Amino acid sequence: MRALVYQAPGIKSWDNVPDPALQTDTDAIVRVDATTICGTDLHILKGDVPAVTAGRILGHEAVGTVQSVGGGVKNVRVGDKVLVSCITACGTCRYCRESSFGQCVGGGGWILGHKIDGTQAELVRVPFADTSTYPAPAGVSDEALLMLADILPTGYEVGVLNGKVRPGDVVAIVGAGPIGLSAILGAKLLSPSHVIAIDKADSRLEAAKGFGADIVVNNSREDALAIVRDLTGGLGADVSIEAVGVPATFELATTLIRPGGHVANIGVHGEAVTLHLEDLWIRNVTITMGLVDTYSTPTLLSLMCSGLLDAEKFITHHYTMDQMVRAYDTFGDAPRTGALKVVLTRE
């Protein structure tokens, strides 16, 4: 088969590689019908995720068709169309029993495209298939369903729910890429009074308006802190969500928060950041961070099926799988190309 292979920081290739095979009786082999590229994949290529070693097939998001299953798989059958979650869950360890699937210690967690070969390929082996895939519902396109593999639950869980967004809150979201836009959609479900999107790319700020942001701020030429404080009587945002993963955006997110507020870090950080405890400790600020658990996927899927969550507007570019390297170039230069999510399909 063909797959996108990580060679070293800054080096990737679309190569011929061996087909995956069943390794345990809870595995499934899934033919990838649609996949996408995540900002985390770009962090891997920068060298920010040293656990990813040379030769790894990247990718952790897919919609596909089951080709074969192990003898221990109970609910997934050959021929089923499924969503492959970015998080693999053994279903039985302490963390899985608490729905903290991202911290699975039974062989799951974030492993696809990280510790085992991933989904940017024609075929993928999915461990614990019964608890790591979701049946594709009728009437939902592969492309829309694909957005539930990672970005929508990540923005909702790690940003909105961990940040404790409540009705009437002022929510500042630093970064209007796909994860930031997911946080906007998730926050709007909880009726904040204002959602403020902050970015340096005008194209992404325009997208943020379409996703429901009430105010957009280009912080390359506007003072985000002054705008937030002016809106909140000098206090700051109730919730500040960091959705980029670089030191400057994390520091900005902590600057924007009011006393007693919540800072929710979503971004994948590859270098140390400065935590200004000398300013934050006395203001009762809560800071959360973490890997998505995907416990919200069934809820978000229900909202999508009922028409309350429009995921297709994330998709700006379409490619076939053999255009994978070109798709990476487009996604990696989003300020110029306007890319939000690129979708790659078999044909």
| pLDDT above 90 for 257 | yes
Percent of the chain with pLDDT over 90: 97
Indicate the pTM of the whole model: 0.95
Query: What contacts 226, CB < 8 A, 6 or more positions away?
Result: none
Which domains, ranges and CATH numbers included, belong to the chain? 2-150+294-345 (3.90.180.10), 153-289 (3.40.50.720)
Sign for the CA dihedral angle at 27, 300, 153, 204 comes to: positive
Whether 262 contacts 286, CB under 8 Å: yes
To which H or E segment does residue 253 belong?
Answer: helix 247-255
**For the chain, how far is it from start to end, CA to CA, in angstroms?**
15
| pLDDT above 90 for 309 | yes
Give residue-wise pLDDT tens across range 29-63.
999 999 999 999 999 999 999 999 999 999 999 99
Pairing status of strand 194-199 against strand 215-218: parallel
pLDDT at res. 328: 98
| pLDDT above 80 for 340 | yes
d(Cα 118, Cα 279) in Å, to the nearest integer? Answer: 42
Structure token pair of residue 59: 């990718």
d(Cα 64, Cα 88) in Å, to the nearest integer? Answer: 16
Give residue-wise pLDDT tens across range 85-126.
999 999 999 999 999 999 999 999 999 999 999 999 999 999
To which H or E segment does residue 346 belong?
Answer: none
Average pLDDT over residues 317-337: 95
pLDDT at res. 25: 98
Question: E-assigned strands of the chain?
Answer: 2-8, 11-16, 28-36, 62-69, 81-84, 123-126, 133-135, 170-174, 194-199, 215-218, 237-242, 257-265, 286-289, 315-320, 341-345
Q: If we measure between CA atoms, which residue out of 341, 310, 63 comes closest to residue 184?
A: 310
CA distances from 309 to 66, 169, 301 (A): 26, 21, 9
Residues in the chain: 347
Pairing status of strand 194-199 against strand 170-174: parallel
Confidence of residue 347 (pLDDT cuts 50, 70, 90): confident
Confidence of residue 13 (pLDDT cuts 50, 70, 90): very high
Q: Is 89 left (phi over 0), alpha (psi -120 to 50) or beta?
A: beta
In whole angstroms, how large is the CA radius of gyration of the chain?
20
d(Cα 165, Cα 241) in Å, to the nearest integer? Answer: 10
pLDDT at res. 270: 86
Query: Torsion angle of alpha carbons 122, 128, 132, 136, nearest 10°?
Result: 60
pLDDT at res. 188: 97
